[in-house]
Amino acid sequence: MASTVSDFGLSCGILPGGARNAITDVPGIRVGHCTLRNGDTNTGVTAILPHGGNLFRKKVTAASHVINGFGKTIGLTQVQELGTIETPVLLTNTLSVGTCATALIRDAIRQNPDIGRSAGTVNPLVGECNDGPLNDIQALAISEEHVLAALADAHEGEVEQGNVGAGTGMTCFGFKGGIGSASRRIALGGGHHLGVLVLSNFGRPGDLVLPDGRRPDPGQPAGVERGSVMIVLATDVPLEHRQLERVARRAGAGIARLGSFWGHGSGDIAIAFSTGNLVDHDESRDLVPLLALNEARIDILFRAAAEATHEAVLNSMLSAGAFTGRAGKHRASLADWLRDQQR
Amino acid sequence: MASTVSDFGLSCGILPGGARNAITDVPGIRVGHCTLRNGDTNTGVTAILPHGGNLFRKKVTAASHVINGFGKTIGLTQVQELGTIETPVLLTNTLSVGTCATALIRDAIRQNPDIGRSAGTVNPLVGECNDGPLNDIQALAISEEHVLAALADAHEGEVEQGNVGAGTGMTCFGFKGGIGSASRRIALGGGHHLGVLVLSNFGRPGDLVLPDGRRPDPGQPAGVERGSVMIVLATDVPLEHRQLERVARRAGAGIARLGSFWGHGSGDIAIAFSTGNLVDHDESRDLVPLLALNEARIDILFRAAAEATHEAVLNSMLSAGAFTGRAGKHRASLADWLRDQQR
Amino acid sequence: MASTVSDFGLSCGILPGGARNAITDVPGIRVGHCTLRNGDTNTGVTAILPHGGNLFRKKVTAASHVINGFGKTIGLTQVQELGTIETPVLLTNTLSVGTCATALIRDAIRQNPDIGRSAGTVNPLVGECNDGPLNDIQALAISEEHVLAALADAHEGEVEQGNVGAGTGMTCFGFKGGIGSASRRIALGGGHHLGVLVLSNFGRPGDLVLPDGRRPDPGQPAGVERGSVMIVLATDVPLEHRQLERVARRAGAGIARLGSFWGHGSGDIAIAFSTGNLVDHDESRDLVPLLALNEARIDILFRAAAEATHEAVLNSMLSAGAFTGRAGKHRASLADWLRDQQR
Amino acid sequence: MASTVSDFGLSCGILPGGARNAITDVPGIRVGHCTLRNGDTNTGVTAILPHGGNLFRKKVTAASHVINGFGKTIGLTQVQELGTIETPVLLTNTLSVGTCATALIRDAIRQNPDIGRSAGTVNPLVGECNDGPLNDIQALAISEEHVLAALADAHEGEVEQGNVGAGTGMTCFGFKGGIGSASRRIALGGGHHLGVLVLSNFGRPGDLVLPDGRRPDPGQPAGVERGSVMIVLATDVPLEHRQLERVARRAGAGIARLGSFWGHGSGDIAIAFSTGNLVDHDESRDLVPLLALNEARIDILFRAAAEATHEAVLNSMLSAGAFTGRAGKHRASLADWLRDQQR
């Protein structure tokens, strides 16, 4: 079970969390990991599936927001134009985006033999952070099989956090980073959730500020930030693309509350999707009924996005044990630092 | 009755036009003008009302696209964020945007006394072109009364084109420009229209290419382009903001087909709205049902936007008689040039 | 002399402030106010002049960033296209943008009689917040003369903060808001500054978090946020448009650190300019030499933008005394709250 | 030698072309192809190298513009944020982007062993069109070796056009499309060029309009557009990112002049770079001198971008012989159609 901010008496905001305090509080969402730890190889793949069916046939409404664009994500152009996601969302290390995209394509063709024939092509969506310090990233260790393993591992329920999947070799504010998740209940239209999953790999040592004002010291030189953070936001509130883009933008507020200023060398990218309005690839009607949120009620989603992003990053660090990676490089655990403080 | 491309044996594309071949083919749309012609003052105001009711209370879904941003339009920031228009759309000369915005605000407060009190503020939307060559633009001749006159003149049915309203003193490819309109029938969901109204004031003399390949000579030195074009697109097809933004973008294709390359000094701005999904300012539900177009059917709207923009600009020039403005500056009529060619 | 965070033992970040801790630490910048306090009228105009010369003739390099676009600023389209500012930057109340724009136009014509004749038109830049709760905003009390008074008042040196100029009737997190400023020294290329001036009018009561973690209670119902914040960033570091846009974006981090999530109803807009590369309106060369920052060194500017925005908002509140406005509505002073805490 | 519009008595605009009428008229640019033709496999890779040195160490200034974002290009996010290109620009089929990106990464590491260690990561830039109708795109036939072959083939001078490299299996307005190039001389600052290379794969049969008004019939059913076009623009005029973005946008005007309305299913993406200001990865100065174009002179570049894009697409079709691809699907040659007309 992942350690979370509440285990350490911290809180990020005022909205109540979901039952699992994870992106999987949004019904249907599945998360899977493939973790590689072998000598200097410390990396992996994390897959987020918006639902359990054929994602190409039943696309989810989506949007993205680039907080800082020093990043190599593939797939954003089409997400912004068409407002949909049609594959799993993969997270991995920076130099493995190409391999992951190819694996997603092959998997989509397997499920939809008309792709590239009668049905157009498919838009793979893969985000990344640079785990170079702790992982031999030049080895390009991720293969298409690792992607299939992460997809096969995807499940509802508990989300494994910390040093798993794409988070295996990540660093955050000089501490060990990785995969983190959090959620908020949304008191709208009968009850909904907004959930966030992050791959945390950003922040200069010394810049982290806890919700109570403390500034943990990771025992690392401050140096130049060269990290990144991928933020995936999911909700079952029906939102149109423009509304999702507004929600995605608020992830940046969550990151800023941690003490980050969205550093130059960091690829800080948010992707948001809603399972509330599926888009049928084979839609036969000219005009399609859908639901959209009354815009005057959107603040609760903005607040939830900022709070859950803030908390998901902290959860990623609190779930990640101390780690020694490539060339003996060590990263302390924020959980250890907090436990030391409590003594 | 306005002269149009078909009167001269020209055509812009393949889709059929609406009954009036004007933006008012979209049900509910009203257009009004206030024209100032007095000595060196040759300018005016044109108002487009998306419907005949209270626009602040029942907003239309909207989007804009900046083709080239050397322009002073007010209101676009909020249109892009919220995806709605909540006042009439005004067109005028460049230096009168402020006065027109203030007049829209006062008119909105008159209709909605809660504005600036309990209801937030209102976002006036005013576009402009520089009629400086033919109008003493430094005189700032437009007053708030002129705006009210244009609003009072707004009516369904026939759209007065050419040297009227904001179009009074405009120049296009060295010929007389002004107000032009065109429409296309949209064979979707029971039958709809897309209509366009332009304020044409762009294009270097010599660059105009007619649909049949002819290049009319306005008898003006080529010089530097310092014009602009405002393009307002309306449809009753229900579209969400993202889809409207995609439609608005295609206005640029229509402008390019005239021989323009969207010159540096030109403020070329498209605003698109749909009357198909009104947004209730006082909406009480959390989730609102709406209709959106099946994206796979959107090409007909793209084609219509390009064709109708192309044709509306030509119609603006064909409806505009030869004109002598400030300091004796003369602009020939494209209609006269075409009639000369037919002899 | 304005109260600032350091008077209360608070600090926003780690970079040293400039000598005045104000936007005027950037050489040449002038700030002026015109304040209207008369019965229910509590509003005004604030002018920021990037330098003391003819701004139309010698434009400053500029960019803007829309954090949340529920706002009515005029002038952003051209700033983004051309990357320059060519008038003073005005701040005022939401419904007075039109009048302020007209006043800027007339002032620019007075200085440059070729505007609207041989020199093209001029792009007025006016930002706004809604002071409706404390000011009878429906009265549209700002006249062109008030703009001229703010321009005439503009001076280097000390910046008057709090309940002055456009800040007169503003509210921030339920406390009295207004005009605030801060600066940071930039240890690059011989020594430079980045300065920020804000018009603060945002934030839900109860959401404000101080740098030390305290959450001040303004004694106001939380309600719905309907505010805004305008952030003007200036630097003498030579930056190109793209770099300025990146710097402007970081203002959002400063706002988020205060506890805001950039609420739906808030027009949160940042405008950044550099005095390091003036653009000559009458430039005769084809290619123009300029200086740009080595991008690898830009983090200090990002950090400065976040820190100085954070601090400028707090300074606006700490400089603003308790205030009773329209219809007897009262706003407490954050400075009073802090003094009470110290007792 | 490629057939071009002038061989058929056509012309696209008024500016003079360069000596080779190709992107290689810009000094230093290299183009290489790897072509796969084997049974149902008809595809390839085209590489554009901005200069002959280490592109990661000496980056070129760059920008992109998404005309229509139904496309899977990788690398645009970072190009827009940092304003540079640091690898060759590759073009290929839609499903091979991942493999091409991985190959670029490996090639960059080979040249720069500090990538992923001390030097951050590298941003591969790969564009694509869907050659599915003529190529067995599901086979994912492109391997990293094919990329290396295209890179090894890159050379200055003549550009092979038509059915080569990435253009092998492409279709344009129902005719055979492929690789095309054109250039314009730029009479600025001592003499410069703007060159364009396109991968043409867009346009509905029947929509093509020649510069003289003729509408060639490819003998194909009109159907739904599912194409794309990649447009790479290069110049040795020193331009900053914002100016390059403005130039890139004008590629859309060239595409529109061909009769396209930038169809829904088309990924129409322009990438522009300038060799006039190289960005040194290892720059040691804080402030870097560079040259930028006097913005008032930029219209010649806009006109050149529209004209050369227009012409490059026609050249791609005129250089492409009739072709029979996957499953016996045939595409006529526009050159043959024109020769038939001349008889």
Closest Cα of chain C to A88: distance in Å?
29
Q: How far apart are CA D52 and CA D32, in angstroms?
A: 12
Decide if B102 and C226 are in contact by the 8 Å CB cutoff. Answer: no
Shortest CA distance from D300: residue in chain C: C286
- Asked if the model's pLDDT at residue D223 lies above 90, the reply is no
Closest Cα of chain B to D301: distance in Å?
10
Closest Cα of chain A to D137: distance in Å?
6
How confident is residue D227, by pLDDT bands cut at 50, 70 and 90?
confident
Decide if D286 and C242 are in contact by the 8 Å CB cutoff. Answer: no
Q: How far apart are CA C253 and CA C233, in angstroms?
A: 13
Q: How far apart are CA A311 and CA C66, in angstroms?
A: 25
Contacts of C297 in chain D (CB under 8 A): 286
Catalytic residue among B3, B200, B228, B319: B228
- Please tell me the number of Cα atoms within 13 Å of A4 on its side-chain side: 21
Residue C239 within a domain: yes
The residues in D 209-268 lying below 8 A from C, measured between CB atoms, are 237-238, 240-242, 246
How confident is residue C54, by pLDDT bands cut at 50, 70 and 90?
very high
Shortest CA distance from D279: residue in chain C: C294
Could you tell me if A310 and A254 are in contact, meaning their C-beta atoms sit under 8 angstroms apart? yes
Could you tell me if D303 and D196 are in contact, meaning their C-beta atoms sit under 8 angstroms apart? no
Interchain CB contact of C186 with D (< 8 Å)? no
Decide if B211 and D211 are in contact by the 8 Å CB cutoff. Answer: no
Q: What is the mean pLDDT of chain C?
A: 96
Decide if A246 and B81 are in contact by the 8 Å CB cutoff. Answer: yes
Cβ atoms within 10 A of the Cβ of D326, count? 20
For C21, list phi and psi in degrees, rounded to 5.
50, 50
Shortest CA distance from A300: residue in chain B: B286
Interchain CB contact of B75 with C (< 8 Å)? yes
Report CA D235 to chain centroid distance, whole Å: 13
Residue from A43, A72, A114, A135 to probe the interface with D (highest D Cβ count within 10 Å):
A72
Q: What is the pLDDT of residues D15-72, one digit of tens each?
A: 999 999 999 999 999 999 999 999 999 999 999 999 999 999 999 999 999 999 999 9
- Identify the domain containing residue C261 by its residue range: 5-280+295-342
Q: What is the pLDDT of residues B166-211, one digit of tens each?
A: 999 999 999 999 999 999 999 998 899 999 999 999 999 999 999 9
- Asked if the model's pLDDT at residue C295 lies above 70, the reply is yes
Decide if A288 and B286 are in contact by the 8 Å CB cutoff. Answer: no
Residue A227 within a domain: yes
Q: For residue A343, what pLDDT is reported?
A: 76
Interchain CB contact of A109 with D (< 8 Å)? yes
Contacts of C223 in chain A (CB under 8 A): none
How confident is residue C229, by pLDDT bands cut at 50, 70 and 90?
very high
How confident is residue A225, by pLDDT bands cut at 50, 70 and 90?
low
Residue C174 within a domain: yes
Residue C289 within a domain: no
Q: What's D144's DSSP letter? A: H
Decide if B78 and C267 are in contact by the 8 Å CB cutoff. Answer: yes
How confident is residue C148, by pLDDT bands cut at 50, 70 and 90?
very high
Which residue is listed with tokens 């995605």? A248
The residue type found at C46 is T
Provide, rounded to the nearest whole percent, the portion of chain A with pLDDT above 70.
99
Q: What is the pLDDT of residues A86-105, one digit of tens each?
A: 999 999 999 999 999 999 99
Interchain CB contact of D189 with C (< 8 Å)? yes
In chain A, the number of structural domains is 1
Query: Which residues does residue B219 pair with via DSSP β-bridges, in sequence order?
Result: none
Decide if B295 and D263 are in contact by the 8 Å CB cutoff. Answer: no
Residue C165 within a domain: yes
- Asked if the model's pLDDT at residue C222 lies above 80, the reply is no
How confident is residue D335, by pLDDT bands cut at 50, 70 and 90?
very high
Provide, rounded to the nearest whole percent, the portion of chain D with pLDDT above 90.
93
Q: Find the CB nearest D286 among C240, C289, C294.
A: C294
Residue A343 within a domain: no
The complex scores an ipTM of 0.98
Closest Cα of chain D to B225: distance in Å?
9
**Buried residues in A300-317 as b, exposed as e (16+ CB within 10 A):** bbbbbbbbbbbbbbbbbb
Interchain CB contact of D71 with B (< 8 Å)? no
Q: For residue A103, what pLDDT is reported?
A: 98
Q: For residue D70, what pLDDT is reported?
A: 97
Residue from B45, B56, B100, B102 to probe the interface with C (highest C Cβ count within 10 Å):
B102
Distances (CA, A) of D236 to A341, C293, D191, D240, D273: 59, 21, 9, 12, 9
Q: For residue A220, what pLDDT is reported?
A: 84
Decide if B287 and A246 are in contact by the 8 Å CB cutoff. Answer: no
Decide if A116 and D97 are in contact by the 8 Å CB cutoff. Answer: no
Cβ atoms within 10 A of the Cβ of C213, count? 12
Shortest CA distance from C239: residue in chain D: D287
Residue A241 within a domain: yes
Q: For residue A4, what pLDDT is reported?
A: 87
Can you tell me whether residue D334 is helix, strand or coil?
helix
Over range B290-310, report the average pLDDT. 97
Could you tell me if C316 and C333 are in contact, meaning their C-beta atoms sit under 8 angstroms apart? no
Interchain CB contact of A71 with D (< 8 Å)? yes
Interface size A-D, in CB pairs within 8 Å, comes to 126
Shortest CA distance from C294: residue in chain A: A264
Q: Find the CB nearest B256 among D213, D256, D264.
A: D256
Nearest-10 crossing angle of helices D144-153, D97-111: 60
Chains that touch C (3 or more CB pairs under 8 A): A, B, D
Contacts of C305 in chain A (CB under 8 A): 261
Q: For residue C172, what pLDDT is reported?
A: 98
Interchain CB contact of A116 with D (< 8 Å)? yes
Q: How far apart are CA D13 and CA B206, in angstroms?
A: 11
Catalytic residue among B266, B274, B316, B319: B266
Q: For residue A222, what pLDDT is reported?
A: 75
Q: How far apart are CA D280 and CA D55, in angstroms?
A: 10
- Asked if the model's pLDDT at residue A1 lies above 60, the reply is no
Q: Find the CB nearest B121 among C78, C106, C130.
A: C130
Secondary structure in 3-state letters for chain B? CCCCHHHHCCCCCCCCCCCCCCHHHCCCCEEEEEEEEECCEEEEEEEEECCCCCCCCEEEEEEEEEEEECCCCECHHHHHHHCEECCCEEEEEHHHHHHHHHHHHHHHHHHCCCCCCCCCCCCCEEEEECCCCCCCHHHCCCCHHHHHHHHHHCECCCCCCECCHHHCCCEECCEECEEEEEEEEECCCCCEEEEEEEEEECCCCCCCCCCCCCCCCCCCCCCCCCCEEEEEEEECCCCCHHHHHHHHHCHHHHHHHCCCCCCCCCEEEEEEEEEEEEEECCCCCCEEEEEEECHHHCHHHHHHHHHHHHHHHHHHHHCCCCEECHHHCEEECHHHHHHHHHC
Q: How far apart are CA B268 and CA B44, in angstroms?
A: 19
Chains that touch B (3 or more CB pairs under 8 A): A, C, D
Q: What is the mean pLDDT of chain B?
A: 96
Over range C246-264, report the average pLDDT. 97
Q: What is the mean pLDDT of chain D?
A: 96
Can you tell me whether residue A169 is helix, strand or coil?
coil
Catalytic residue among B64, B268, B319, B333: B268
- Asked if the model's pLDDT at residue B224 lies above 80, the reply is no
Q: What is the pLDDT of residues A58-84, one digit of tens each?
A: 999 999 999 999 999 999 999 999 999
Q: How far apart are CA A142 and CA B205, in angstroms?
A: 59
Decide if D256 and B260 are in contact by the 8 Å CB cutoff. Answer: no
Interchain CB contact of B92 with C (< 8 Å)? no
The residues in D 265-284 lying below 8 A from A, measured between CB atoms, are 265, 267, 269
Q: How far apart are CA A106 and CA B113, in angstroms?
A: 60
How confident is residue B225, by pLDDT bands cut at 50, 70 and 90?
low
Contacts of A106 in chain D (CB under 8 A): 140
We report the CATH number of the domain holding residue C92 as 3.60.70.12
Interchain CB contact of D167 with A (< 8 Å)? no
Q: How far apart are CA B132 and CA B42, in angstroms?
A: 9
For A212, list phi and psi in degrees, rounded to 5.
-95, 10
Q: How far apart are CA C93 and CA C72, in angstroms?
A: 10
Q: For residue C255, what pLDDT is reported?
A: 98
Over range C283-311, report the average pLDDT. 97
Q: What is the pLDDT of residues A149-198, one digit of tens each?
A: 999 999 999 999 999 999 999 999 999 999 999 999 999 988 999 999 99
Residue A184 within a domain: yes
Which residue is listed with tokens 């956090």? A161
- Asked if the model's pLDDT at residue A44 lies above 80, the reply is yes
Contacts of C138 in chain B (CB under 8 A): 109, 115-117
Could you tell me if D274 and D60 are in contact, meaning their C-beta atoms sit under 8 angstroms apart? yes
How confident is residue C97, by pLDDT bands cut at 50, 70 and 90?
very high
